Amino acid sequence: MTAVSYTVMQELNGERIDKAFAAMQQDWSRSQIQTWLKDGIVMVNDEPVKTKYKVKEGDVISVTPPETEPLEIVAEDLNLEIVYEDSDVIVVNKPKGMVVHPAPGHATGTLVNGLMYHCKDLSGINGVARPGIVHRIDKDTSGLLMVAKNDKAHESLVQQLVDKTVTRRYTALVHGHIPHDKGTIDAPIGRDSRDRQKMGVVDNGKHAITHFTVIDRLGVDYTLVQCRLETGRTHQIRVHMNYIGYPLAGDPKYGPRKTLDFGGQVLHAGVLGFIHPSTGEYLEFEAPLPADYEDLLKELKSNY
């Protein structure tokens, strides 16, 4: 694996190396970085340093992550709901409860396991464990995902995400009564310094924008909204809606502990649109709300 490096900015001056590096590279936890520091593969200005080292503005931190053992992906017939497919792309409607790609604790039953059974020609850009995966949605979020079947398509779809030209609209049920009909949340998202398993709005986070429109108000306790992603940060909708005081129902991780028993956040990726990598045609797909989501809304409406 190739080395990656970052230059320490003024706001991180004086921070411990592990905390500073984790702030700059949010895909890696502090514990992972601490392990690499002990192994001597984290360098500052081309010299190995100890965990207690405090960085200075202008320091160049670099690491060459060790190669990980590739996971053996088992092809499984998971009866995936394929919404669209051609020689370049697949659009799949992922059910709630399905993990997108294999990881420790989830070696089988993932979307990738199902895709490997469905077709053999997937882009290899993201490696053995994530063939064809261009973007992902949380385990307990249902809805539409685009998957690349070759590297050219993969590069095109990723670039569209970077250029913010992909249409991604989600239907979310949130706690509280939102009085205004629409709004925009522009707040940077990064790893929560108090809980590395969570994301949060943090000063040194990555740029993140969510637009929302109220669909329905269910009494004073809940509001149904449509969220449109301009960026695609980890847990973006969950973090942003909680940040403005309207956390997702069914989501004790980011909202109140006492919430709806839905088996996860009430969130559905219902609309996905992109430019076809080969034809240049704009394609847009819509997946209706799952039955349990519809049933929940009917129950809530009947109670007010």
Active site residues per annotation:
138
DSSP string, 14-30: T-BHHHHHHHH-TTS-H
Q: Which helix (H) or strand (E) is 118 found in, with range?
A: helix 111-118
Tell me which residue of 185, 187, 161 sits closest to 277, measured CA to CA. 161
Helix (H) or strand (E) holding 271: strand 267-275
State phi, psi for 8 to the nearest 5 degrees.
-70, 125
Tell me the C-alpha distance between 211 and 183, whole Å. 6
Integer CA distances (angstroms), 162 to 13, 105, 136, 173, in order: 30, 30, 14, 27
d(CA 119, CA 166): 24
> Taking Cα atoms as reference points, which of 271, 261, 246, 255 lies closest to residue 296?
261
